[in-house]
């Protein structure tokens, strides 16, 4: 009878996704006044088994008419980091030439799908994203 609860306890850290579902604060929503995607660094605590570690990541955030959008900087082709080219107004992946629109959609290159878009919310004037 003890095997099921004990097994659940031992396996739960292994089965938990990294940061999945966590809302992470990015600061005052007022600082994201531009429609141009802006790199925003954030961190959160990750549990790996029973160890906890601080993880540093970043996202691209832009204001839109109906709120905010936040994109993962990870190319959907092979996981390289994309960068925003303000002059051309596109995201570029340096690894294999992937190009994304300001909305995160694939324009050209090998990426199979759009950039991952994080959920966003504003509470008490602060912008939050949900890590997937």
pLDDT tens profile 20-35: 568 999 999 988 888 8
What is the predicted pLDDT for the residue at 129?
94
Cβ–Cβ < 8 Å for 91, 82: yes
Q: What CATH fold (topology level) applies to the domain 3-130?
A: Rieske Iron-sulfur Protein (2.102.10)
**Confidence (pLDDT) at 14:** 47
In the chain, % helix, strand, coil (3-state, to 5) comes to 10, 45, 40
Structure tokens given for 74: 């990870």
How far is the C-alpha of 13 from the C-alpha of 38, rounded, in Å?
33
Between CA 92 and CA 104 the distance in angstroms is 10
Q: pTM for this structure?
A: 0.78
* Main-chain dihedrals φ then ψ at residue 29, nearest 5 degrees: -65, -25
């Amino acid at each position: 009878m003890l095997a099921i609860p004990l097994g659940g306890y031992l396996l739960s850290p292994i089965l938990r996704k990294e940061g999945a579902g966590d809302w992470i604060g990015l600061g005052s929503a007022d600082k994201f006044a531009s429609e141009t995607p802006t790199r925003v660094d954030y961190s959160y605590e990750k549990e790996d088994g029973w160890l906890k570690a601080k993880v540093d990541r970043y996202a691209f955030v832009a204001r839109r008419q109906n709120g905010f959008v936040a994109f993962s900087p990870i190319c959907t082709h092979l996981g390289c980091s994309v960068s925003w080219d303000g002059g051309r107004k596109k995201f570029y992946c340096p690894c294999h030439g992937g190009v994304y629109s300001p909305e995160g959609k694939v324009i050209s290159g090998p990426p199979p799908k759009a950039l991952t878009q994080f959920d966003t919310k504003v509470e008490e004037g602060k912008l939050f994203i949900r890590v997937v």
